[in-house]
């Protein structure tokens, strides 16, 4: 950085060195650091101004194990007297000051710079940090250039003369009509949410798929799940609750499948009986087989007919990927099973529910099958921890039985057009996973999704939630007894747990907290598996609110015209002021919150009274492009373009305006917004447009794609989505009529 100058043999700069300043970089490294303790520096006046630990300067994280604090001092600076300390990141526990004498920085040299920084914890454990110091001489001109570049980073580009990123640093003290932030009570504006709104009160596992045939068990208790869907055309794959796994050799003879040792691409084969077969790569744990065109899963590539049920209701990349999959042949018949693996209380069902919601929103037919729900229906909700022991043959047989039943239900659903099945159970042994792979042979591709959590606080919290919400403990009056029983159940699983090492897998290690962690993938390829990995990397359970609201009433709203880029009306201006007061009150303690708008001026003007928060413009948040119909009223479209009017009326989801967009197009361009909303750990206020907010709301509420064009998103109303460990909850505020 700038013109450098070398140190002398004593580590100090010579008096004869050229004029300039010293750029000092203090670094600490600990490869075992969890991230819960943040290094700080405190010391004498020239450095930080106080030995008060509350005023210590936080070091910035440079990498997973390295922390840095950099500053500029003159070459003849006074002796800097300081120490390192550690502050807990998420608690008010006392700071931990390094042991040993104070450190001295003299003329750019750190005395005893090789000395380790030692921190003694309450449990007598000692943390060791390596300490480094790097000093460069920087010319005044380089400093000036660096400062100019720094300032230019805060000078955003603009759209229609309005900055695309901005922040008002001065707080807003009041508004018109006597509305002050301190006077507003958000609860006064609460209105009932629609009956189909987000609901996370129900235990998540109970919201998963129900058995496709009646399940009656002698152990069923009074609080078992009811309303089981029983289709009359379900293929018979078991009798009663006895699961029959066909012998592979018998299946091959009966269906015309023959084993092949050749390793080639999709190839036709003429068999003796005149039937035409195909070589199919059957994926994890499967040999290459020749599959007849008359088998249960179709191999015909006629996209107009046979693929009708398997094509997702989607546009853009999702549709392109689906077409490519169909054209490439019947590899694994294009059905995917995501099989969860992990100990209880590790967030498997939470992860499965979020992934199900995401894939459905993208347009993939996805269902969530929870084996625990099947077990409770068959064997009741009063099973003790002994039922889950590995040395209990009756319990093992019963659990394998319901697992096979749930898996066969998932396969049957796939035969009817389903694309992605998420199979939610512990699946914690190789024997269980091998059983599932045999059931999947030639029927679907398998990806294991393993969740590993080593944070005892998160595990304890999850166990408490389980006792409070799970039907397994609904009849347990003693909370502590329920806790002990579940911990005994957990211990039984831990004794036989075998991490995933086979086949295609995604392994999430300490990812659930959103603070660090790692994700491992093995043998993962293709569009959809890639999207799944990308989603899982960015999702977490840190609680935070997301506020969705339309812009204030625009001039085109008054005229009844669609599209356009008009300013807000007087009513819209009033809403902007009320919104600013509401957000200031609701998020007054959330200074890390941000405001997202589209690039259209009606959203930017609505956000203009909001101060103290960064404002970011997203072109992806622009209203649906009405194309040739932009600026018209619906009556004008009906009169001048009757064919377009009728086409839109018949299918609002897929209808695309001439040279414009459809709702499916909007969903595709909103995927980066969804990923970023999932990644955010601070509150976000999204000010956008009706079609866009319908699509965003549908994601959080897990609403079917076909309902998106009809979701009610009124003007001057705030929809608060609360995301966290307990799921998703909704609250609505109507600030104006």
Catalytically active residues are: 424, 453, 551, 623
Distance between CA atoms of 637 and 561, rounded to whole angstroms? 10
Residue pair 662/654 in contact (Cβ under 8 Å)? The answer is: yes
DSSP string, 142-206: HHHHHHHHHHHHTS--EETTEESEEE--SPP---GGG--GGG--GGGGEEPPPTTS----S-GGG
| Residues contacting residue 596 through CB under 8 Å, at least 6 positions apart | 615, 616, 617, 618, 621, 673, 684, 685, 686, 687, 688
Closest CA to 375 of 363, 359, 387: 387
Residue pair 29/44 in contact (Cβ under 8 Å)? The answer is: no
Parallel, antiparallel, or unpaired: how do β-strands 505-509 and 445-452 relate? parallel
Closest CA to 684 of 703, 170, 675: 675
| Residues contacting residue 152 through CB under 8 Å, at least 6 positions apart | none
Closest CA to 691 of 716, 713, 722: 713
Sign, Cα dihedral of 632, 634, 636, 641: positive
Distance between CA atoms of 711 and 717, rounded to whole angstroms? 14
Closest CA to 687 of 632, 626, 609, 591: 609
Distance between CA atoms of 671 and 683, rounded to whole angstroms? 19
Closest CA to 286 of 254, 250, 260, 255: 260
**Dihedral, 653, 655, 658, 663 alpha carbons, nearest 10:** 10
Phi then psi for residue 501, to 5 deg, are -135, -5
Strand partners, 81: 104
**Dihedral, 294, 298, 304, 308 alpha carbons, nearest 10:** 140
Closest CA to 376 of 478, 244, 474, 490: 474
SS3 (DSSP) at 481: helix
In the 8-state DSSP scheme, what is residue 403? H
How many other C-beta atoms lie within 10 A of the C-beta of residue 201? Answer: 8
How many other C-beta atoms lie within 10 A of the C-beta of residue 46? Answer: 16
Run of H or E including 734? strand 727-734
Strands (E), 386-493: 420-424, 445-452
Closest CA to 319 of 665, 33, 623: 665
Exposed e or buried b for every residue in 371-396, given b needs 16+ CB within 10 A?
bbbbbbbbbbbbbebebbbeeeeebb
Strand partners, 518: 509
Strands (E), 620-683: none
């Amino acid at each position: 950085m700038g013109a450098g100058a070398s140190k002398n043999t004593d580590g100090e700069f010579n008096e004869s060195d050229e004029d300039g300043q010293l750029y000092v970089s203090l670094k600490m490294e600990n490869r075992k650091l969890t991230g819960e303790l943040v290094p700080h520096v405190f010391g004498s006046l020239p450095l930080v101004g106080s030995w008060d630990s509350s005023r210590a300067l936080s070091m910035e994280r440079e990498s997973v194990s390295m922390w840095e604090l950099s500053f500029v001092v003159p070459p003849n600076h006074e002796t800097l007297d300081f120490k390192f300390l550690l502050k807990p990141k998420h608690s008010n526990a006392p700071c931990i000051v390094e042991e040993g004498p104070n450190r001295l920085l003299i003329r750019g040299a750190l005395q005893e710079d090789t000395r380790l920084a030692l921190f003694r914890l309450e449990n007598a454990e000692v943390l060791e940090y390596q300490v480094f110091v790097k000093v460069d001489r920087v010319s005044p001109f380089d400093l000036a250039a660096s400062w100019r570049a720094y300032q230019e980073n805060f000078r955003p580009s603009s759209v229609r003369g309005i900055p695309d990123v901005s922040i008002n640093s001065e707080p807003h003290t009041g508004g018109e009509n006597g509305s002050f932030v301190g006077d507003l009570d958000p609860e006064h504006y609460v209105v009932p949410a629609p009956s189909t709104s987000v609901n996370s009160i129900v235990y998540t596992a109970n919201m998963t798929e129900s058995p496709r045939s009646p399940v009656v068990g002698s152990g069923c208790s009074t609080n078992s799940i009811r309303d089981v869907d029983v289709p009359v055309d379900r293929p018979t794959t078991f009798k009663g609750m006895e699961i029959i796994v066909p012998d592979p050799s018998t299946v091959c003879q009966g269906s015309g499948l023959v084993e092949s040792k050749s390793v080639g691409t999709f190839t036709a084969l003429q068999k003796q009986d005149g039937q035409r077969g195909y070589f199919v790569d059957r994926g994890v744990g499967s040999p290459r087989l020749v599959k007849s065109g008359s088998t249960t899963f179709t191999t015909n590539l006629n996209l107009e007919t046979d693929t009708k049920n398997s094509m997702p209701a989607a546009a853009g990349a999702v549709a392109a990927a689906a077409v490519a999959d169909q054209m490439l042949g019947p590899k694994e018949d294009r059905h995917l099973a995501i099989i969860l693996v992990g100990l209880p209380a590790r967030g498997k069902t939470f992860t499965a529910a979020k992934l199900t919601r995401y894939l459905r929103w993208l347009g993939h037919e996805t269902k969530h099958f929870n084996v625990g729900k099947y077990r409770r229906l068959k064997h009741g909700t009063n099973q003790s921890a002994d039922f889950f022991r590995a040395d209990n043959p009756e319990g093992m047989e019963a659990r394998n039985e319901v697992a096979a039943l749930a898996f066969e239900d998932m396969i049957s659903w796939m035969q009817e057009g389903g694309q992605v099945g998420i199979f939610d159970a512990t699946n914690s042994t190789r024997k269980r996973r091998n059983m599932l792979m045999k059931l999947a042979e030639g029927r679907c591709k398998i990806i294991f999704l393993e969740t590993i959590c080593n944070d005892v606080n998160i595990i304890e919290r999850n166990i408490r939630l389980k006792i409070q919400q799970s039907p397994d403990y609904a009849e347990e009056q003693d909370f502590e007894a329920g806790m002990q029983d579940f911990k005994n159940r957990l211990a039984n699983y831990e004794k036989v747990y075998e991490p995933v090492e086979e086949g295609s897998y995604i392994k999430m290690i300490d990812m659930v907290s959103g603070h660090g962690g790692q994700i491992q993938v093995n043998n993962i390829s293709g569009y959809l598996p890639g999207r799944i990995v990308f989603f899982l990397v960015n999702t977490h359970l840190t609680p935070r609110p997301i506020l969705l609201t339309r812009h204030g009433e625009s001039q085109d709203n008054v005229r009844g015209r669609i599209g356009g880029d008009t300013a807000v009306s007087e009513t819209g201006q009033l809403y902007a002021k009320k919104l600013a007061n509401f957000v200031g009150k609701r998020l007054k303690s959330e200074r890390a919150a941000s405001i997202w708008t589209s690039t259209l001026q009606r959203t930017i003007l609505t956000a203009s009274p909001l101060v103290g928060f960064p404002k970011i413009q997203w072109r992806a948040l622009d209203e649906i492009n009405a194309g040739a119909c932009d600026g018209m009223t619906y009556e004008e479209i009906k009169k001048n373009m009757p064919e377009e009017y009728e086409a839109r009326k018949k299918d609002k989801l897929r209808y695309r305006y001439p040279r414009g967009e459809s709702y499916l197009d909007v969903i595709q361009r909103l995927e980066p917004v969804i990923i970023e909303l999932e990644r955010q750990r601070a509150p976000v206020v999204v000010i956008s447009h009706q079609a866009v907010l319908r699509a965003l709301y549908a994601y959080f509420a897990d609403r079917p794609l076909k309902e998106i064009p009809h979701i009610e998103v009124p003007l001057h109303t705030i929809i608060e989505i609360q995301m966290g460990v307990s799921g998703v909850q909704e609250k609505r505020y109507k600030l104006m009529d």
